Amino acid sequence: MIRFLLVFLFCSKISFGQNDMLAILEAEADNEVSFVRSTWKSPMLINSYTTETERKGVLDFKISHRFGNIGGQSGGGHSLFGLDRASNIRFSFDYGVTEEFQIGIGRSKTNENIDGLLKYKFLKQKKGSTPITAVILSNTAFTPKRDPSGNFSKIAHRFSFINQVIIGSKLNNKLSVLFSVSHYHQNLVVQSVGFNGLKEVNDLFSIGCGARYRITRKLSVVGEYNNTLGELRNSINYKYDHPLSCGIELETGGHVFHINLSNSSGLIFQDLLDTESDSWGDGEFKLGFRISRFFSL
C-alpha cells in the first residue's frame, strides 16, 4: 500500500510538472502571436479605407448616403439644410475570403460607378514587437453612364483605378491612427478651359491620414483628411478643397452606424479625388451616414 502511494505521488508530481511546463509554453506561444485587435470598427473610416479586413466568412452589406450642402448657395432652410438633396448614395457588399483577404463590389450614384475591390493585409500589429498593421488595396471602377458627348469612344475609357497602401496603428485602448498613400489612374481625361494652362492628368497621387478615438465600448469619434497632389488641384483657378471629414460611429449589435460631415460627396476613392470638393469655410459641407450589417455565411 505504501509503495502504491509513493508511486502515485511520484507520477502525479511528474504529471503536474508536465502540465505546468505546457502552460508556460502555451503562454509563451500566445505572447509570440499576440496580435492587436479591434484597431478599427470597420474596413472603412468615413471615405477612407482602414487597415481592417472583413472577418473570414463574413459578408458586410453597407448603405452609404451623402446629402447636399448644409450651408452655402445650395444649402440653408430652402433645402432643409441639404436634406432635400441626395448628392450621392452607394450600396456595397464586402466578403472576407480569409482573415487577411477581402473582396467587394459596389454601386454609386456618382457617374453610376460600379466598382470592385481587393484588399490584403500583409502585416499585423503585434504587442511588444510589430507596431503597425499594413494593407494593400486595389479598386477598379466602371461607369456605364450615358455618353451624349461621345467621350467614351472605347470601352476602356470608362475605367478608373485606385491602388493604395495603408498603414495603421492602435496606439492605446482608445486611440488608433492611419496613414495612406494612393495612386489614382483614369483612362480618359476630358480637358477643360480656364485653368491658365494647367491640365487634367491621367495619374494623381494622394496622401491621407485618419484617426479614431473610442469614448465608450460602443461609441467612437472619427476624422480623416486627404491631400491630392498636383498643380491643378492646388491651383486657385480650380475649385477644389481637399476632402476633410469627421463623424461618430456607433455599434449596435450586428450593425455599425456612422454619422458624418464631409465637404466631399465622394463615397469611393475615385470620386473622392476626382470630384470637386466644397469649402468648409463657406458652409459647404454635407451630412452623411453609413450603416453596415454583417452576415455570417
Cell numbers 451630412: residue: 287
User: Which residue(s) pair with 66 in the sheet?
Assistant: 88, 288
Alpha-carbon torsion angle 100, 104, 109, 113, nearest 10: 110
Place of cell 448614395: 89
Answering whether pTM is above 0.75, one says: yes
State yes or no: pLDDT of 4 exceeds 50.
no
Amino acid found at 191: Q
pLDDT confidence of residue 193: 58
Measured distance CA(254)–CA(86) in Å, rounded: 26
The Cα angle at residue 178 between residues 174 and 183, in degrees rounded to 5: 165
Q: Nearest 10 degrees: CA dihedral of 167, 171, 176, 180?
A: -20
139, β-bridge pairs: 117, 162
The string of pLDDT tens digits covering residues 235-289 is 777 778 899 999 999 988 767 889 999 998 889 998 888 776 788 888 888 999 9
The angle formed by the CA atoms of residues 288, 261 and 218, to the nearest 5 degrees, is: 80
In the chain, the domains with their CATH numbers are 41-296 (2.40.160.40)
Q: What is the percent of the chain where pLDDT is above 90?
A: 51
Phi, psi of 127, deg, nearest 5: -65, 125
Residue 13 dihedral angles phi and psi, to the nearest 5°:
-65, -40
- What is the C-alpha separation between 231 and 228, in angstroms, rounded? 10
* Average pLDDT of the residues in 94-122: 96
